[in-house]
Structure 1
Amino acid sequence: MNQTLKFTDIIAVGFTLFAFFLGAGNIIFPPLAGQLAGDHLLPAMFGFLLTAVGLPLMTIIAIAVSGGSWEHLTRDLPKRISVVMAVLIFVIIGPAFAAPRTGLVAYEMAVKPFFTQPTQLYLTVFSIVFFAVAMFLSWSQGKLIDAIGKFLTPVLVLGLLILGLAVFIDPQGEILAAHAQYLTEPLTKGFLEGYNTMDTLGALMFGMLMVDTLRCRGITEPKATTNYLIKAALIAASGLAFVYVSLFYLGATSSAVASGADNGGTVLSIYVQSLFGPYGQFALSLIVLLACLTTSIGLISSCSDYFSSLTSIPYKAWVIIVGVVCAVVANVGLAQLIALSVPVLYALYPVAIVLVLLTFLRSKLPNPQASYRVALSVSFIFSLLDALKAAGINVPAFEHIPLFDIGMGWALPSAIAIVVMFFVGGAKQSAQKQAKAL
C-alpha cells in the first residue's frame, strides 16, 4: 500500500491541525496579556509561547513517537488510571469547558456586537445553530481534512495573515509600562496564561484524531504516521506562533484605543475597528467564527471518537450527545465558564506536562512503570494545591513550597521525583546486564 502523501495533502493535514488548535482561548487571551505586559512584552510572550506552542508541539510529537494512541502514551500506568485520566481530559477539553467556550466566544465577538440590546435568547439560539453546524461537519471523520484543511482553514489563515501584517505595519499606539504580575514576573505569568488556551490538553486529543485521519488517507505504517504527524505539528505550531506574536503585539499597542478593557475579546474588537474602520467588525466576525467553528469540530470529533471506543454507543450518537451538551453549557456565560475552568487547568496541566516529558525520557528510565506512577502522582498532588490556591482557597501550610506563590508549586517536586526515578531499578538492571555479559 502507498504510504506517502502529496505535498498538498501534507499542507492540508497541517492546516487541519492548526485550525483545530486555533479556537476561543487562542484569540481572547493573548491581546489582554499583551496589553498588561506592556514594555515587558518579550519575556511574557516567550512564556506564553512555551505553554501555548511549545508544549502542544511536544505533545503531538510524543503521541507520534509513542505509537499514536493514548494507550501507548500511558502504557506504564494502571489501565483504570489511564482511562480515568483520559475521560477527565476529554470531558474538560470537550463538553465541560473548551468546546462550549468556542460557541461563547464566537457569540460574544462575532455576533453580539451587531445587536444593540442582546438578550439570553440570542445566545441560546446562536448556541443551537453553531453546535448544529459543528455536529454536521463532525459527522464523517474521514472528510475532516477536506472540509477543514482544504476549505475552511485557508480562509481563516488569509484573514489572520491580513490582520497580523496590519498590526505590525500600522500599530494603533505606543507600548506602555507593564501592569500587575507582568511587572515583576512576566515570564512566569505568560507561562501560566498559556494554560488558558488548553492546547496541551487539546493536543492529547487532536494527535489521536489526526492519526485516525491519516489512516483514512491510507497512512497505516507507524514510521510514515509518525513522520506525517510531526510535519503536521510543525506546520500547526508555526501558524500558532505567528498568531500569538501578532496578537501579543496588538495588545501591547492597544492602550491608546482600548484602555481599560477587561478581556482580550474587547481589546481585539476595538483594535480591529480602529485599524479597518466600521467594516473591521465584519472581518473579525468571519475570523472568529471560522476559528471557533473549526476548533469545536475537532473537539466534538475527538471526544466522540474516544467515548465510542469506550462504550457500545456509536460515534455518530456521541457526536449528537457531545454537541447537545456543549450547546447547553454554552448558555452559562463566558466569564463564568472561564472562572470555573482556571482551577481545573491548574490541577491537570502539570500532569499533562509531566506525562509528555516522561514519554521522551522513557527509554532512559531504569524502571518506566514505577517512574510514571511516582512522577505523575507527585505532580498531581502538588498541582491540586496550586488549583486550590487558584480557586481562592487559602492553604498557608504549603506556602513554603518553592514557586507555590506563582502557581507552579508542582514544578520542583515533579522534577525531583523524575530525577530520583533515574536511580530506581538501576541496580537490578545493572545486575541483569552483568549476567548477560557472563
Structure 2
Amino acid sequence: MKTQKLTFKHYLIIGSMLFGMFFGAGNLIFPIHLGQLAGAHWLRAGGGFLLTGTLLPLLGIIAISVTRSSGIYDLARPIGKRYATLFMVLTCATLGPLFATPRTATTPFQIGIASHVSATQEPWFLLAYSLLFFGITYWASRKPTGILDMIGKLLNPAFLILLALIFGLAFSQPLGSARGQAITPAYQGHAFLNGFLQGYNTMDALAALLFGIAVVTAIRGLGQTAPTAIAKTAAKASLMSITLEAAIYLGLIWIGATSLAHFKLSADGGIAFAQIANAFMGMPGEIILAIMATLTCLTTAVGLTTSFSEALHAKFPRISYRSWNRLSCGASFLIANIGLDQIIAWSTPMLMFLYPLAITLIVLAIASPLFQHDPIVYRWTTALTLIPAIFDALGAAPAIITRQGWVQALLSLDVQYLPLAKLGLDWALPALIGLLIGLAWHALRQISRAREYRMNRN
C-alpha cells in the first residue's frame, strides 16, 4: 500500500491542529486557579496536573494508533458492544452539547464581557455572544476536511501570539515570588494528587479518544494511507502538541501562584486571569485576554463539534453528519445560556465517573499486544473500576444529590472500605486487582490451550 512521506511542516500542521482542538476553555482557567490554590507547592501540583492534562491525552492518541481503532467505539469494543456504545455516547455527550462545548462559549464570555455589564444585561449579552459563537462554530465545522486549514493555519498562530505577549510581560515583570505564597489546606499534604484530579477538568484525556477520528482524517488527507504510517504520524504529531501544551500549563500555574502577591484567592481561574491581565496592561490587557480566550475556545469548539458529529454519524449512519452537527451546535447554544457555574457543577460528577474508565481503557489498549488483546483482561479491569467510579460521581455531585440518605450511606461505605476514597482515587486499587485477575485468567487459558495443542499433536 503506497503512502505519502510527510515533511516536518506536515507534522507541524497536524500538531498545531491537535493543539488547537485540545487547548480550550478549561486549559486557560484551571491552571491559573490551580496555581493560586497550590501557592508555594505550585510545582508539585503542576506535576500531577500534567499527568492528566498532557500525558494521558498523549497516551490516548497512542492507544488509538496502537490498536488501529477508527474511534472511541472501536477502542472500547473488546469490553463488549453494548458497553462500547454506552461509553462512546456518554463521552460524546460530555465533550459535546452537555458540558465541554457549551463551556467553550461561556468561559470567554465570563472572562471578557460579564464583568463589564450589569446583572440584568448579562443574560442578553450571553445570548447574543453564544449565538454568534456557535454560528461561527457551525460554519467552520460543516465540512470535516476543512478543519486542518481552519485550526492549524489560521486560528492557532493568532492565539499563540497573544499568549506569548501575556507570558512575556509575566516573566519580565513578575507579580511576586511563587516560593513564599500561601498554600490552601488541601494542597499542603496532597498537592500532587489534587493537581492530578484538577487535570480532569480539562477533559483532554476524553477528548483524545474522540479527536482520534479527526487526526486520522487529516493525516489521510495529506496522503498517508498505510495504517502503520498513520499510527506513527499521529504519535509524533501528538508529542509535539502535548509538549507545547505542558510548557504553557506550567507557565500558567506559576503565574497563578505569583499573583497571590497582589490578589486574594479568586473564585475561579477566569476572574484571576482577568485580574492578572489588568495588572500588567490595564484595560488593553483585558481586551487581549478576551480575544485570546475567544480564539482558543473557538478552535476547541470546532474540534469538539466535528469529532462529535463524525463519531456519532459513524455509529448511527442513518443520521447524517450535518444533522449531528446541527444538534451539537444548537444544543450547545441552549445549554451555554444556563451559565458557566451550573455547567461546571454538573460536569464534575460525570468526569469523576468517566475518567477512571478512560484511564484504564487507555492503559489496556496500549498494553493489549502483551496479552493478545484478550477481552477478558479488559472486562475484569473495567468491571472492578466501574463501581468505585460510580461512587466518585455521587461524591462529586451537587448538594441536591449528595444530601440524599442513600447517597450518604454509599459514600460512607466507600470511605470505609476503599483506600484513597477521600482523595477521589478509590478506583485505583480495584482496577489493579481487576487487571491482575484478567491477566491470570488469560495466562491460565494460554496454558490450557498449549496443553490441548500438545495432546492433539501426540
Work out whether the TM-score is over 0.5.
yes
Q: Tell me if the contact between 1:367 and 1:424 (Cα under 8 Å) persists in the aligned partners.
A: no
3-state SS of 1:74 partner = helix
- Offset of residue 366 of structure 1: 6.7
Q: Distance in 2 between matches of 1:314 and 1:198?
A: 26
Work out whether 1:360 is the aligned partner of 2:386.
no
Query: In structure 1, what is the equivalent of residue 384 of structure 2?
Result: 378
3-state SS of 1:253 partner = helix
Question: 1:298-377 alignment to 2 at 5 Å?
Answer: 298-309=303-314, 310-365=316-371, 368-377=374-383
Query: In structure 1, what is the equivalent of residue 277 of structure 2?
Result: 272
Query: In structure 1, what is the equivalent of residue 85 of structure 2?
Result: 83
Q: Distance in 1 between matches of 2:304 and 2:155?
A: 16
Q: Distance in 2 between matches of 1:116 and 1:81?
A: 47
3-state SS of 1:258 partner = coil
Q: Distance in 1 between matches of 2:354 and 2:170?
A: 34
Question: 1:38-437 alignment to 2 at 5 Å?
Answer: 38-69=39-70, 70-115=72-117, 118-175=121-178, 176-309=181-314, 310-365=316-371, 368-391=374-397, 392=402, 393-394=407-408, 395-400=411-416, 401-433=418-450
Q: Distance in 1 between matches of 2:126 and 2:150?
A: 26
Q: Tell me if the contact between 1:350 and 1:383 (Cα under 8 Å) persists in the aligned partners.
A: yes
Q: Deviations over 1:261-309 (max 9, x none)?
A: 2110011111011122321112111210111000000010011111212
- Offset of residue 116 of structure 1: 5.2
Q: Deviations over 1:134-166 (max 9, x none)?
A: 110001111111111011111112222232333
Query: In structure 1, what is the equivalent of residue 4 of structure 2?
Result: 3
- Offset of residue 311 of structure 1: 3.4
Change (3 A) 1:367 1:208: closer
- Offset of residue 346 of structure 1: 0.6
Q: Tell me if the contact between 1:173 and 1:254 (Cα under 8 Å) persists in the aligned partners.
A: yes
Q: Distance in 2 between matches of 1:122 and 1:83?
A: 38
Gaps of 5+ in 2: none
Change (3 A) 1:157 1:68: farther
Change (3 A) 1:163 1:436: farther
Letter in 2 for 1:334: L
- Offset of residue 177 of structure 1: 2.1
Change (3 A) 1:229 1:305: same
With 366-375 and 98-107 compared, the bigger mean Cα shift is at 366-375
Question: 1:18-57 alignment to 2 at 5 Å?
Answer: 18-57=19-58
3-state SS of 1:149 partner = helix
3-state SS of 2:113 partner = helix
Q: Tell me if the contact between 1:47 and 1:189 (Cα under 8 Å) persists in the aligned partners.
A: yes
Change (3 A) 1:423 1:2: closer
3-state SS of 1:312 partner = coil
Q: Deviations over 1:175-194 (max 9, x none)?
A: 31210211121011000010
Q: Tell me if the contact between 2:383 and 2:434 (Cα under 8 Å) persists in the aligned partners.
A: no
Letter in 2 for 1:168: F
Q: Deviations over 1:329-381 (max 9, x none)?
A: 00111111101111111111000000001112212237721111111121111
Q: Deviations over 1:96-122 (max 9, x none)?
A: 000000010021113334435642111
Letter in 1 for 2:334: V
Letter in 2 for 1:397: L
The count of corresponding residues between Structure 1 and Structure 2 is 438
Q: Distance in 2 between matches of 1:110 and 1:308?
A: 35
Letter in 1 for 2:435: I
- Offset of residue 435 of structure 1: 5.4
Letter in 2 for 1:414: A
Q: Deviations over 1:247-268 (max 9, x none)?
A: 1001100113331321100111
Q: Tell me if the contact between 1:141 and 1:301 (Cα under 8 Å) persists in the aligned partners.
A: yes
Letter in 1 for 2:306: S
Gaps of 5+ in 1: none
Q: Distance in 1 between matches of 2:444 and 2:176?
A: 62
Q: Distance in 2 between matches of 1:119 and 1:367?
A: 52
Letter in 2 for 1:245: L
- Offset of residue 382 of structure 1: 0.9
Q: Distance in 1 between matches of 2:177 and 2:20?
A: 31
Change (3 A) 1:434 1:43: same
- Offset of residue 71 of structure 1: 4.2
Q: Tell me if the contact between 1:124 and 1:331 (Cα under 8 Å) persists in the aligned partners.
A: yes
Q: Tell me if the contact between 1:366 and 1:422 (Cα under 8 Å) persists in the aligned partners.
A: no
Q: Tell me if the contact between 1:367 and 1:425 (Cα under 8 Å) persists in the aligned partners.
A: no
Change (3 A) 1:4 1:114: farther
Q: Distance in 2 between matches of 1:345 and 1:74?
A: 17
